[in-house]
Amino acid sequence: MAELVLGIETSCDETSAAVLSVQDGRALLRSLVILSQDVHRIFGGVVPELASRAHLRTIGPVVDQALREAGAAREELTGIAATAGPGLIGPLLVGFTYGKTLAWRRGLPFIGVHHLEGHLFAATLEDPLLAPPFVALLVSGGHTMLLHVPEWGRYELMGQTRDDAAGEAFDKVAALLKLGYPGGPVIERLAREGAPDRFRFPRPLLVRSGAGRFEFSFSGLKTAVLRAVQLSDNLERDRADLARGFQDAVLEVLAEKTAMAVDEAGVGTVVLGGGVACNAALAASVGRSVGQSVRVVTATPRLNTDNAAMIAAAGAWRLSRGERSPWDAEATDNMVFPGLQPFSIANGQWAI
C-alpha cells in the first residue's frame, strides 16, 4: 500500500505544505504549495514576529490547498512530517505544532525533520536513483557547509563557514547595490550582464592544504564589495559589473572547495542544495571544477529554496525506518547535524 505523507515547512518566511506518496521505496510528489511572505521586502530582511503571524494566518489554507491539489483527503494520510529546526523559533512552532496536532487528532505517526536534511533530500524528488555516497554542498541563507554523506542519515562535516553564509553574502551585497531582498536571484540576473574583468574580488580561504581548505569566509569579501561601491562615482554604470565580480568570487571559492572535497572523499557524485543552489552559474562552475567523471546533481529552484516537499521526502524516509517524534534519546541524536548546535523545540520536552 502506498504511504501518503504530508510535509510542512515554516522555518523562515515560506509557508509551505506538500503531499508525497511513496510506494515500493519510490517517492512521487503529488502536490507542493509555497506561499512566500512578501511583507519582509519592505524591511530588507525577515522580521521574525511578522513571519510568525503570517504563518499563523496561512498554515491552515496552505495545508488544505496541498491536500486538494494532491486529490487526497486528510483520512488518507499515513504520516506527517514538519520542520523541527533550525530556524526562527516562532515560525517553526506554527508549522511544527500544526503538524503535530493534526497527527495527534488522526492518530498518525509524526516526525520532526532537520531543515538541512530536508535540503539534502530535495534532489531525490526529481532523481529517484540519487543515493549516497556523495559530497553535498549546502548553501543557504543561514548555512554554508561541505558534507560527506556515506549513507542517508550519516552526515560528516568536512568544513563550513567561519562567518557569513553564502546566501547571506548575496543578500548583503544586494543591499549594498540597492537591489532589494532576497539578493541571490537578482544578483544572478544582473551578473549575466556584467563584465567579468572589471572588478576582481578576493577568493577568501582558497587554499589547497591545511585545516582551512574546506572552510569558508565571506565577510571580508562583502567588505571588499562595500569599498568598491564607496569608490564608485557611478553606481548605475558599475552595478552589473560589481555583481559579476562578486558572484564570480563566491562561485569560484564554492566550486574549487567542492572539487577538493570530492577528491578527498573519493566519491563520484556531488549534490548541491539550499537556496544558493538555485544559481545556475554555481552548478556550471562546480561542473567545470570537478570534471566530467563526477556527476553534479541539483534540484530545480522550486525545490532548492525552502519548501515542504523536501521535508516530506526526508520525513518519509525517517518514518519508513520506524522513527517517530516525540523523540527518544536516539531520535534526538538524529536531529544533531555535525557542526551545528543540537536543537529541539522546547528542549524536546513536548508531549501531547
Neighbours of 136 (CB within 10 A): 28
Our finding on whether 144 is near Zn ion (CB under 5 A) is no
| Cis upstream peptide for 182 (omega within 30°) | yes
Total number of residues binding ligand KG4 (CB under 6 A)? 20
From the list ligand KG4, Zn ion, none, partner contacted by residue 188 (C-beta under 5 to 8 A by kind): ligand KG4
From the list ligand KG4, Zn ion, none, partner contacted by residue 170 (C-beta under 5 to 8 A by kind): ligand KG4
Sole binder of ligand KG4 in the list 241, 248, 306, 323 (CB under 6 A): 306
Nearer to Zn ion, 238 or 306 (CB): 306
Our finding on whether 85 is near ligand KG4 (CB under 6 A) is no
Q: Which CA distances in Å does 203 have to 92, 112, 191, 247? A: 35, 38, 17, 11
Nearer to ligand KG4, 168 or 323 (CB): 168
Sole binder of ligand KG4 in the list 85, 182, 194, 204 (CB under 6 A): 182
Our finding on whether 141 is near ligand KG4 (CB under 6 A) is yes
Which 298-317 positions form the footprint of Zn ion (CB under 5 A)?
Answer: 306
Burial class (CB in 10 A: 0-12, 13-18, 19+), 287: middle
The region of 59-67, 121-129, 133-141, 315-323 touching Zn ion under the rule CB under 5 A is 133-141
* Closest CA relative to residue 250, chosen from 182, 197, 200: 200
- DSSP count for the chain of H helices, then E strands: 11, 10
Which 220-279 positions form the footprint of ligand KG4 (CB under 6 A)?
Answer: 274-276, 278-279
Residues ≥6 apart with Cβ < 8 Å to 231 = none
Sole binder of ligand KG4 in the list 110, 155, 170, 327 (CB under 6 A): 170
Q: C-alpha 219: how far from its chain's center?
A: 20
Our finding on whether 21 is near ligand KG4 (CB under 6 A) is no
Residue 52 near residue 94, CB atoms below 8 Å: yes
Bridge pairing between strands 110-114 and 154-160: unpaired
User: How far is the C-alpha of 324 from the C-alpha of 81, rounded, in Å?
Assistant: 10
* Residue that is written with C-alpha cell 518514518 in the block: 319
Binding to ligand KG4 by CB under 6 A, coded x per residue (else -) over 39-68, reads ------------------------------
Our finding on whether 185 is near ligand KG4 (CB under 6 A) is yes
* Residues engaged in binding Zn ion (CB under 5 A): 140, 306
* Residues engaged in binding ligand KG4 (CB under 6 A): 12, 140-142, 167-168, 170-171, 182-185, 188, 274-276, 278-279, 305-306
